[in-house]
Amino acid sequence: MSTERALRLPGIAYGGDYNPEQWPEEVWAEDMHLMGEAGVTMVSVGIFSWALLEPAEGVYDFSRMDSVLDLLQQNGIAADLATPTAAPPAWFFKAHPEALPVDADGRTLSYGSRQTFCPSSPAYRKASLRIANVLAERYADHPAVAMWHVHNEYGCHNATCYCDASAKAFRRWLRTRYADDLAALNHAWGTTFWSQRYYAWDEILPPRTTAAPPNPTHRLDWRRFCSDELLSLCTAEREVLRRAAPDTPATTNFMVLPTFDALDYWRWAPELDILSNDHYLMSDDPEPEVDIALSGDLMRSLAGGRPWLLMEHSTGAVNWQPVNRAKLPGEMRRNALAHVAHGADGILFFQWRAAKAGAEQWHSAMLPHAGTDSTIWRDVVLLGADLRSIAQVRGSTSSAQVAIIWDWEARWALELPSQPSSSVRYQDLVRDWYRPLWRAGIAVDFVRPDDPGLDRYKLLLAPSLYLVDDTSADNLTGFVERGGTLAVGFHSGAVDENCHVRLGGYPGAFREILGVHGDELFPLLPGQTVGLTGEVPRDARADLWTERIRLTGAEAVATYSDGPLAGVPAVTRHTYSAGTAWYVATRPEPATLAALMERICQEAGVRPECETPAGIEVVRRRGTDADYLFLIDHAGQGAEIPAHGVELLTGKAVCGSVTVPAGGAAVVREPH
Amino acid sequence: MSTERALRLPGIAYGGDYNPEQWPEEVWAEDMHLMGEAGVTMVSVGIFSWALLEPAEGVYDFSRMDSVLDLLQQNGIAADLATPTAAPPAWFFKAHPEALPVDADGRTLSYGSRQTFCPSSPAYRKASLRIANVLAERYADHPAVAMWHVHNEYGCHNATCYCDASAKAFRRWLRTRYADDLAALNHAWGTTFWSQRYYAWDEILPPRTTAAPPNPTHRLDWRRFCSDELLSLCTAEREVLRRAAPDTPATTNFMVLPTFDALDYWRWAPELDILSNDHYLMSDDPEPEVDIALSGDLMRSLAGGRPWLLMEHSTGAVNWQPVNRAKLPGEMRRNALAHVAHGADGILFFQWRAAKAGAEQWHSAMLPHAGTDSTIWRDVVLLGADLRSIAQVRGSTSSAQVAIIWDWEARWALELPSQPSSSVRYQDLVRDWYRPLWRAGIAVDFVRPDDPGLDRYKLLLAPSLYLVDDTSADNLTGFVERGGTLAVGFHSGAVDENCHVRLGGYPGAFREILGVHGDELFPLLPGQTVGLTGEVPRDARADLWTERIRLTGAEAVATYSDGPLAGVPAVTRHTYSAGTAWYVATRPEPATLAALMERICQEAGVRPECETPAGIEVVRRRGTDADYLFLIDHAGQGAEIPAHGVELLTGKAVCGSVTVPAGGAAVVREPH
Amino acid sequence: MSTERALRLPGIAYGGDYNPEQWPEEVWAEDMHLMGEAGVTMVSVGIFSWALLEPAEGVYDFSRMDSVLDLLQQNGIAADLATPTAAPPAWFFKAHPEALPVDADGRTLSYGSRQTFCPSSPAYRKASLRIANVLAERYADHPAVAMWHVHNEYGCHNATCYCDASAKAFRRWLRTRYADDLAALNHAWGTTFWSQRYYAWDEILPPRTTAAPPNPTHRLDWRRFCSDELLSLCTAEREVLRRAAPDTPATTNFMVLPTFDALDYWRWAPELDILSNDHYLMSDDPEPEVDIALSGDLMRSLAGGRPWLLMEHSTGAVNWQPVNRAKLPGEMRRNALAHVAHGADGILFFQWRAAKAGAEQWHSAMLPHAGTDSTIWRDVVLLGADLRSIAQVRGSTSSAQVAIIWDWEARWALELPSQPSSSVRYQDLVRDWYRPLWRAGIAVDFVRPDDPGLDRYKLLLAPSLYLVDDTSADNLTGFVERGGTLAVGFHSGAVDENCHVRLGGYPGAFREILGVHGDELFPLLPGQTVGLTGEVPRDARADLWTERIRLTGAEAVATYSDGPLAGVPAVTRHTYSAGTAWYVATRPEPATLAALMERICQEAGVRPECETPAGIEVVRRRGTDADYLFLIDHAGQGAEIPAHGVELLTGKAVCGSVTVPAGGAAVVREPH
């Protein structure tokens, strides 16, 4: 990620997606007036405007966009101007039906929605760069344009296409990865198995639906390719924009949220000037605040510790889940402040004005169908004021003593078919470990397994690292050797970058530093649990996974108390060189896992930001002159928390303690 | 619906589908004998006989049909002669593979079953009208032919086809709907959203599978088109038949039953001379008698209050559900009498003789596999006698003080994707409200929202009217203004005929007459409930849906007692002009809803036909000289009910009270 | 099944699939060493080696196979040499894309996995016979080659293909079945129903996806064809192999296990020299030992009572179920000994060495990822010794007084769509009846319904025989007439070989011998149960199915105590001629069914092999000089069982009683 090009806006950016083209022009003036009332400072425009901007191939109509940008400029609102390439017009598909995506079953998808194009289509690439270029050249110098919004949610609906053009692109990508050496590919994919050997590059296809289980490495390379293929579209657009406006920063909205895993954002992040994220709550998530925190910490980590923007979230319900719940009283405000606490320097919504028509007509907005006489609108205005109160937080960073290893390749590999258990899900495993730290007020970064600067942390957690290459394995080993504490979750270190099992005992790459040797995996059936005994809470139980390991240097912290592995170690601790390595060979239930994490943190010398009662989230952002202590009450009880400085939301001095109102928040400026 | 052409049969028609072609001719004589024994007066013939009647294109063989019709004529049994167009022969598809239907995924379906043709196929249209015409000309004057049975269950399996011919037909239909104005279509569909604007008619496709959510108005217009497209096939056949036999009435068998919603029967009904219905019980429905009543009332309403025919139901189990339960003792008789009570002047079954082979071999029939030595056959003979006993009921009508608004467009729109809750189902909502009225013995009509004669009712119920156009909204408002009582269910009045949200607060179109203003929808997750307090039973609860409304004229009858909307009105009552308007903003559980309906009825001055104990269904048909009071015991306890006249099933005089036997029925002739 | 060609190996064959091509040659020497340690005597080689053996069309490379076979020969290990035809190479599909299979929806499947070819493809047939022939000619006389392993698991993934070539082959098969008489086909399929009549052979298609339910007989004939079509590939390969090596026996590995039902192995068995089976446990099966026993008895019966080989099972977890559980302590040994007890003369595993890469990398093996320092390896070595201890069991047979009728056609027909209940599953019904016999230690054979030698049994059970032709029905009737006891499960005798319902009352074909007459089927909904009274345990209940029958000669053993059929017979007993016939018209819960089976056995004079406590499986194999009593403890309690002779696993003399260790087994040689 470049730092040359920054977003030049004061305070915390505030706003949302703005689609004036869906409304008569008489509404626009009201929009400006109300944006002023709410304190909106930036809006995203043009995201789905291709069909209006280019009504026919090479014919352009910028009249409406000109007016909108001028109006924003006149009203002091910055524009985050989007390339409209996420939704090509109907005329494009009429002319280029071959650019429609094809699924793994060979079914060609139709247009009439959005994001229904093949990422490898030459026609799409040409048309999208053409409109991006015309747009960039026209508005490069428009004073309203503060940032480019490249495309929209890459891969949200069309992360994969299995058509022949995609096959060709896949082969091109593979020739690069394997340095044009087909034997290397055959080795990596293990094609001796099931008679899958390729004798010519053009025999290779996307992993289309077949009769029996797929080759895992074929699938894994396909996922790598799909992420890279979309990234190449993104960087191509970015280049067009940068050429026209060298100083304007470019972002694209990521989707760091539980239901999306198509893109390896570690590879994307360096290509963008500013990172931004879209984050939505799952209606059936009993603790969505955990997900906001995790997602925010991951975004901040992707941004190299620097602030990022929340490009989209919702004021209330979304419309794409089976049942879309509204937000509870105060929840929108808590959500927004939590995003800021975890590093966001901008709070934007999808969308400004609730739509009358179209697929998202029941998605909430800043200005609801009911208009300004509504709870949501009043809350939106109040939130604008809140954000102004904490404007000085902008640019502050954070620091953590604990890092969690996050790796998209390990995630993809873990969730391939034909695994010991299809119930093991990466996101769940990471969240299981993240949650007790979040509850305890312990700051967490996320890192790549090959991060060269691990020594800045006291404690490193790898809840799930099924796939790990030698470099990364050595990296983690070195961290422990030099005195660090590492905790590793089950089924980690199992395979290398080609998905080849590491032989000689489980958990392959980490056998030595963990001081254990496993010879057989015992995943548990749904509903099946086992007891734990040892240094764990009474009646502790675990589920999902067990392994038969024996100690080869480690000590047993917990063992199974029943089942076929009774007496076998379940959690181990190993002093290795100057450091310590823990292995958690099962999934303890939450209370036991929390106790375990507490002990690991204590031993590693990791402390919370601040002692708070249960339900009070505590996060610290660190500025040049002061720290900012965010205290958010998710339990609805309120609390009195020791602090000194100024509470920014109320402007009141804090001498000794600050009150967190029930369901509310406090942001305390603590001068250095 | 025309009244020129009537079915000229005495009493209640009795019979079923008759497929003698599946049996050797020696069986036919036995059929005639047994039909006589059972009192059969009409059978449907020829429904799936195309392959036999036209063994090759333009080559006909009517020998078997001639014999069958003559035999029926000789035995005094009327023929309901079907056009065989629901199942084109294999030779047709061999010659016209393009007439096979294509699904939304682009998959061409194969023949070898039934109803596997594209409704927009020119080849199918030509071939079907040709055979209909040859049949009509041959049998126009055959004395056995009492009625034409056009096709069979239009849309049962092929209500939609997404092929290119269908695309062409869809565009033709759209050009008519939008008066050849593409801008009007773009406006109606809200195509500014997601860059969906169409610049040429031929860019428009059926709503084939796409990557992301569809355009809702596109989908809604597609459903309208699909219903109209099949209707155009129906009227084309009817014209052919009418030309050949101007005095013979034509029907087609509707499917007014819970699992079918493809056709807008309000548009179909006027095109037919006699309405008929196919009705089957769902094996897992704990109260199928409610469904029979609802379906019957809807059929009678479609028929403008006039009698209709039950064209198909079953003597026992069907064969197309996961598990197909048999009927309980007396259930078939109760079912048949209930259909008559709700307006049927004919009781027919699928089918006369249980099939040996084919996909419906395990579907029950009048004459089971076991033959005449069977409970079903004995019950069939008894039912024939019962129907003769009540022959005088024929032609009688009914009258109701309550009407429920039923609208297929509102149903389709409510169940589009991307709604606040996918758990909200139209049929459930209507049945929830219908059920307590049925239990209380209150007669109900169904009406269109734009029915011009609403003032004939005291009480109007709109359990679900998500989509409503201005004309209909004004129609309901006028009804209240003129003194009527209207009760409206949640999420009604939300969108106009184009699926555009009505802005300014929920429930859009009805905000003013209901005297409430809603600003946010709070659908509930599966399993989630909220408490109700106020003028409701103690411990009342509700589920599925809540809304945040405030009173703008109405009074709160019930409010939420817990959850995020505690204290917010849940049920309201508004005196508006001369009338009263109720809003039920949630789904109360059954006992609470029943209490609410009882109160609404009482206040509106609506009374039951007759006070009966729980479990006794009571329905009144009104004849020229007498009323007919149907009393049916679904609870198995029997009852003594006050009445005067003659009980027709037993022929006994009724002086003061009539006995309804346990699990049985009574039909009391009450002279005017 | 021929007996000319036998496997000439001493003792119980021991080994597994061996894929040295997946490993560097330096590993091969270790393999030989370890095979020696484990006592391996035979391995299957070359199963998926096509792409290596024939790198381009007509170009061969046998260097590696030469080395492997020589190495095996040098180490005294027999080779079960496979034709590699289960997985054609990528180059084949590149050249012959038309050989890819097409599913019922018209979707062409892709290669890159295994078994993705159309069974009717001429190109595939030609290429597979060519490689089989080249292989056979090269290795016909290689001294290591003890057996041919034809293909692999025919039909595991591609039992059906719906492409045009398959359509052609289907028509060819139909012309044979119906003696070129299209009228006979139309009659058999009942094509008069739903206008399905065919006027030309080329109008007939595979039962591709259609809009409405399929024709059942069309579907049934399709299943027959699909089994025969694969069989014709198998016999064609076998002919090629036999021509090259007339004395080498050929097998193909069957899949007699719960999840596979594509092939009619009664038709396959006679075509092979030796039968072999692949058997895997279902992770969620609480009693997989019942399944092993059932499968083993069925294999032995398919083999005409002679021994068979267990070609594949697993040392631990598999990898193709949602969650793949490991085996419990001792379970692998118990499994292996149980297979031998039920007739296996060879115990092989998939696979020798756990794979590093590919779709089966997480499938267990004899030599696990952890290597020899592992429980599995130690158990594998011990099992090798166990099998040597019981070597003399080889060739011994067994004898049973009870036979269960097993029929794939009846299974296919029972599970066709549009049945009274889709909850009725053949495998469950048979296992329900098999289980109490297994528990009681009663030996069971499986027989075809038309088995000409039924009189060798005292008791014949037909848990489910929905479809039965007249010959078979007469065969069973004769068995009873001559004094046998027959018990028949519900919904049996219902249809003939064309799926035509047998008229006149249920259960059609068996009405007379059972002395009952049924007129209506009452399947029960999921969760619904009915009480039983009479000669059954107190509080006995039943579920799944009931029927209304009346007695026409039989006596009622149990009647329903509640529900709509209260008082109707549920279980009946009929003395018919010299024999006895029982009808079980419902599904009693296990304890009641066990009591019923016990009574039926007692009355029929059937006794257990040996009285054992619950949880001890007892099976007897009968040799020339001695019997071998297998006692296996599945309950983990151990037991003392009366016996005399020598316990072979320990070599200890048994005088009066033998100890079965907890979780272990004993094999007692009982001299005649």
Question: What number is the average pLDDT over the span C213-232?
Answer: 98
Tokens standing for A606? 């990791």
| Torsion, Cα of B540, B541, B547, B551 (10° steps) | 10
**pLDDT tens digits for A366-382?**
999 999 999 999 999 99
- Which string of DSSP letters, residue by residue, matches C205-217? -----BSSPPPHH
User: Neighbours of A (≥3 Cβ pairs closer than 8 A)?
Assistant: B, C
- Cα separation, B91 vs C201, whole angstroms: 11
Measured in angstroms, the CA of B500 and the nearest CA of chain A are apart by 5
Characterize the bridge pairing of strands B652-660 and B639-647: antiparallel
- Number of alpha carbons in the 13 Å side-chain half-sphere of residue A484: 24
Say what the pLDDT of residue A611 is: 84
- Structure token pair of residue A232: 């190449």
With a CB cutoff of 8 Å and minimum separation 6, the contacts of B527 are none
Q: Does B153 qualify as catalytic in the annotation?
A: yes
- B/e letters for A86-116, b = 16+ CB within 10 Å, e = fewer, are bbbbbbbbbebebbbbbbbbbbbbbbbbbbb
Measure the CA–CA gap between A326 and B420, rounded to whole angstroms. 9
Do residues B248 and B148 lie in contact, with contact meaning Cβ atoms separated by under 8 Å? Answer: yes
Residue B229 is a catalytic residue: no
Touching B (3+ Cβ pairs <8 A), the chains are A, C
Residue C452 has pLDDT above 60, yes or no: yes
Q: Which of B51, B109, B284 sits opposite C197 (nearest CB)?
A: B51
CB pairs under 8 A between A and B: 206
Helical ranges in B285-342 per DSSP H: 288-302, 331-341
CB B52 within 8 Å of CB C192: yes
- The encoded tokens of residue B219 equal 């989908």
Residue C133's region, left for phi above 0, alpha for psi from -120 to 50, else beta, is: alpha
Which tens digit of pLDDT belongs to each residue from A531-584?
Answer: 999 999 999 999 999 999 999 999 999 999 999 999 999 999 999 999 999 999
Say yes or no to pLDDT of C1 above 50: no
Summarised one tens digit per residue, pLDDT across range A139-161 is 999 999 999 999 999 999 999 99
* pLDDT tens sequence across B449-465: 999 999 999 999 999 99
- Chain A residue closest in CA terms to C111: A210
- Beta-carbon contacts of B339 under 8 Å, excluding residues fewer than 6 positions away, are B279, B292, B296, B310, B313, B347
Q: How far apart are CA C496 and CA C469, in angstroms?
A: 5
Contact present, C671 and C625 (Cβ < 8 Å): yes
pLDDT at B486 over 60: yes
- Summarize the confidence of residues A294-311 as an average pLDDT: 98
Edge-first strand order for the sheet with B626-633 is: B616-622, B626-633, B665-671, B639-647, B652-660
What are the φ and ψ backbone dihedral angles of B82, each rounded to 5 degrees?
-95, 145
* Sheet strands (E) in A209-271: 250-251, 253-254
Angle at which helices B216-244 and B182-189 cross, to 10°: 120
Q: Which two tokens stand for residue A339?
A: 């995003």
Share of chain B above pLDDT 90, in %: 98
Note whether C361 contacts A525, CB cutoff 8 Å: no
Centroid of chain to Cα B112: 28
For residues C40 and C37, give the distance between their C-alpha atoms in angstroms, rounded to a whole number.
8
Q: Which of C91, C107, C323 sits opposite A209 (nearest CB)?
A: C107
| DSSP helix/strand/coil, A375 | helix
Q: Which residue of A has its CA nearest to C358?
A: A215
Which of C582, C299, C259, C216 shows the shortest CA–CA distance to C428?
Answer: C259
How far is CA C562 from its chain centroid? 38
Contacts of C211 in chain B (CB under 8 A): 101, 109, 113-116, 157-158
Spatial CB neighbours of A17, under 8 Å, sequence gap ≥ 6: A43, A44, A47, A312, A348, A349, A350, A351, A352
Q: What is the reported pLDDT for B423?
A: 98
What percentage of chain B has pLDDT greater than the value 70? 100
Q: How far apart are CA C526 and CA C546, in angstroms?
A: 13
The band of A3, judged by pLDDT with boundaries at 50, 70 and 90, is low
Q: Is the separation of the CB atoms in B227 and B263 below 8 Å?
A: yes
Cα–Cα distance for residue pair A564/C71, rounded to 1 Å: 39
Which helix (H) or strand (E) is A81 found in, with range?
strand A78-82
Q: Is the pLDDT of residue B270 over 50?
A: yes
Which amino acid belongs to residue C560?
Answer: Y
In the stretch 110-139 of chain B, residues with CB closer than 8 A to chain A read none
CA atoms within 13 A on the CB side of C496: 14
Chains that touch C (3 or more CB pairs under 8 A): A, B
d(CA A387, CA A332): 13
Of residues A91, A325, A358, nearest to B215 (C-beta): A358
Q: Is the confidence at residue C271, as pLDDT, over 80?
A: yes
Per DSSP (E only), the strands in B126-269 are 145-149, 250-251, 253-254
Instruction: Annotate B617-644 with b (16+ C-beta within 10 A) or e (fewer).
Output: bbbbbebeebbbbbbbbbeeeebebebe
Q: Are C393 and C340 in contact (CB under 8 A)?
A: yes
**C-alpha C631: how far from chain center:** 23
Are C38 and C14 contacting, i.e. CB atoms less than 8 angstroms apart? yes
Q: What is the pLDDT of residues A634-643, one digit of tens each?
A: 999 999 999 9
**Beta-ladder partners of B506:** B518
pLDDT higher than threshold 70 for residue A609: yes
Asked if C651 has any chain B CB less than 8 Å from its own CB, the reply is no
Of C499, C504, C564, the CB nearest to B357: C499
Q: Are A646 and A652 in contact (CB under 8 A)?
A: yes
Model confidence band, residue B1 (pLDDT cutoffs 50, 70, 90):
very low
pLDDT one-digit tens code per residue, B99-122: 999 999 999 999 999 999 999 999
Q: What residues contact residue A79 under an 8 Å CB cut-off, 6+ apart?
A: A42, A43, A44, A45, A68, A69, A72, A73, A142, A144, A145, A146, A147
- Is the pLDDT assigned to residue A602 strictly greater than 50? yes
CA dihedral B518, B521, B524, B530 (to 10 degrees): -20
Number of C-alpha atoms within 13 angstroms, CB side, residue B528?
19
Predicted confidence (pLDDT) at residue B2 exceeds the cutoff of 70: no
On the question of pLDDT at C169 being above 90, the answer is yes
Across the interface, whether the CB atoms of C371 and A504 are under 8 A apart is answered yes
B191 touches chain C (CB under 8 A): no
pLDDT band with cut points at 50, 70 and 90 for residue A1: very low
Rounded Cα distance between A377 and A371, Å, is 7
CA C541/CA C254 separation, integer angstroms: 37
Q: If you average pLDDT over every residue of chain B, what do you get?
A: 97
Angle, CA of A130, A134 and A136, to the nearest 5° = 115
Confidence of residue C610 (pLDDT cuts 50, 70, 90): confident
Say yes or no to pLDDT of A357 above 70.
Answer: yes
Pairing of strands B308-312, A665-671: unpaired
Crossing angle for the helix pair C25-38 and C375-389, nearest 10 degrees?
A: 50
User: CA-to-CA distance for A648 and A670, rounded, in angstroms?
Assistant: 10
Using DSSP, state whether C597 is helix, strand or coil: helix
Which pair of structure tokens corresponds to residue B651? 């022929």
Letter for the amino acid at B90?
A
Structure confidence at residue C76 (pLDDT): 97
Q: What is the band of A286 on the pLDDT scale with cuts at 50, 70, 90?
A: very high
Q: Taking CB atoms and an 8 Å limit, are A84 and B193 in contact across chains?
A: no
The per-residue pLDDT for B3 is: 54
The average confidence (pLDDT) of chain A is 97
Q: Is the pLDDT of residue C332 over 50?
A: yes
Task: Judge whether B372 is closer than 8 Å to chain C, CB to CB.
Answer: no
| Average confidence score pLDDT of chain C | 97
Which residue reads 């022969």 in tokens? Answer: B89
Question: Which pair of tokens denotes residue A569?
Answer: 């170690």
Give A214→chain C minimum CA distance, Å.
Answer: 5
Closest C-alpha among C664, C666, C639 to residue C333 = C664
Provide the token pair at B560.
Answer: 């939420």
Q: pLDDT-derived band of residue C104, with 50, 70 and 90 as boundaries? A: very high
Say how far apart CA B280 and CA B324 lie, in whole Å. Answer: 11
The answer on pLDDT for C413 being more than 80 is yes
Token readout for C7 is 């496997």
Q: HSE of B9 in the Cβ direction (CA atoms, 13 Å)?
A: 29
**Counting Cβ atoms within 10 Å, is residue C398 exposed (0-12), middle (13-18) or buried (19+)?**
buried
CA-based R_g, chain C, Å: 26
Closest partner residue to A520 (CB to CB) among C19, C361, C376 is: C376
